[in-house]
Amino acid sequence: MDKIDICSLYLSELAQAFKEDGIPAFRAKQVYGWIIKGAGFDGMKNISADMKKQLAQKYTAADNVRIQETFISKKDGTKKFLFALGDGNIVEGVLMKYNYGNTLCISSQVGCKMGCAFCASTLGGCVRNLTAGEMHNMLILANALDADKEHRGVTNIVIMGSGEPMDNYDNVVKFLRLASSPDGLNISPRNISLSTCGVVPGIFKLMEEDLPITLAISLHAPTDDIRNQIMPVNRAFPLKELLPACAKYIERTKRRLVFEYALIGNMNSSVEHAKQLHKLVKGLMCHINLIPLNEVEESPLKPAKPSEVEAFIKTLEKLGVSATIRREMGSDIQGACGQLRRKYLGEDKR
Ligand code: SAH
Distances in Å between the Cα of 125 and the Cα atoms of 87, 90, 128, 193, 237 are 18, 14, 9, 24, 20
Three-state DSSP at 292 gives strand
By alpha-carbon position, which residue is closest to atom 8 of ligand 1? 196
The CA 98 to ligand 1 mean position distance, Å, reads 20
Helix (H) or strand (E) segment spanning residue 137: helix 132-146
122 pocket-lining for ligand 1 (C-beta < 6 Å): no
Q: Best mutation site among 260, 301, 325, 327 for ligand 1, i.e. most ligand atoms within 8 A of its Cβ?
A: 260
pTM of the model: 0.95
Rounded-to-integer distance, Cα 235 and Cα 166, Å: 16
| Surface-to-core class of residue 316, CB atoms within 10 Å of its CB (0-12 exposed, 13-18 middle, 19+ buried) | buried
Strand spans (E) along the chain:
4-5, 59-60, 66-72, 79-84, 90-98, 101-106, 109-111, 126-129, 156-159, 192-196, 214-218, 257-263, 286-292, 323-325
Contact 14, 28 (CB under 8 A): yes
Return the active site residues: 92, 337
Q: Ligand 1 within 6 A of 196 CB?
A: yes
Is the shortest distance between the CB of 294 and ligand 1 below 6 Å?
Answer: yes
State whether the beta carbon of 168 lies less than 6 angstroms from ligand 1: no
Report how far residue 252's alpha carbon sits from residue 186's, in angstroms, rounded to the nearest whole number.
24
Residue 105 Cβ contacting ligand 1 at under 6 Å: no
- Which residue, by CA, sits nearest to atom 12 of ligand 1? 218
pLDDT tens-digit profile, the chain (350 residues)? 799 999 999 999 999 999 999 999 999 999 999 999 999 999 999 999 999 999 999 999 999 999 999 999 888 888 999 999 999 999 999 999 888 889 999 999 999 999 999 999 999 999 999 999 999 999 999 999 866 556 579 999 999 999 999 999 999 999 999 999 999 999 999 999 999 999 999 999 999 999 999 999 999 999 999 999 999 999 999 999 999 999 999 999 999 999 999 999 999 999 999 999 999 999 999 999 999 898 888 889 999 999 999 999 999 999 999 999 987 776 676 655 566 667 666 665 44
